Amino acid sequence: MNQINTIVSAYKNFLNAGASYGAALRDAAKALKGKPCPELMQGLATVHAEHFGCKLSWSAKGTAQFFTGAEYSFEGRHEAARKSWNRNVTVHFTVGEPKESFKTEVDPVAKMIKAMEKLTPAQRRKVLAAFA
């Protein structure tokens, strides 16, 4: 029974620590207006890599890379560290400019030509006569 109480107590401490950390990081992200602070990210990433027993490098885009090999590679990345980092750190920050939804403008003439290609020759003549 004593072991159960120890586990329950440890879990309570874990949840309290997570809530405390989450609140602190949300406050920091709000103060930084969603832009990651390099010093904060470096400090967090270093602690993160130590916890997971892996290595740390930074991509050209400024993304933390956690890996186990001599240098970063897709095959050598540390999945547990990467997932934990994304869930616990990067979720609070946006990198770069906000992305706009991808919309392409359709050329109405190109759309009409494509539709006309599906018509029979008689239907095409009828459409062209309507514009003459």
Got the DSSP string for 12-80?
A: HHHHHHHHHHHHHHHHHHHHTTTPPPHHHHHHHHHHHHHHHT-EEEE-TTS-EEEESSSS--TTTB-HH
Please report whether residue 69 resides in a domain. yes
pTM of the model: 0.63
Residue 71 lies in a domain: yes
Q: In the prediction, which pLDDT does 99 show? A: 46
Dist CA 116 CA 110 (whole Å): 10
Q: Which helix (H) or strand (E) holds 86?
A: helix 79-88
Question: Does residue 126 lie within any of the structural domains?
Answer: no
Is position 7 within any domain? yes
Structural domain includes residue 111: no
Query: 104 in a domain, yes or no?
Result: no
Query: How many domains does the chain divide into?
Result: 1
**93, exposed or middle or buried, with CB in 10 Å at 0-12, 13-18, 19+?**
middle
Domain residues for the domain of 21 are 2-92
Average pLDDT, the chain: 86
Confidence at residue 95, expressed as pLDDT on a 0 to 100 scale: 53
User: 28 with 40: CB under 8 angstroms?
Assistant: yes
Classify residue 110: in a domain, yes or no.
no
Confidence of residue 128 (pLDDT cuts 50, 70, 90): confident
Q: Which residue has the higher pLDDT, 50 or 111?
A: 50
**pLDDT at residue 98, rounded to an integer:** 45
Q: 64: which strand partners? A: 58
Please give the angle made by the CA atoms of 80, 83 and 85, to the nearest 5 degrees: 105
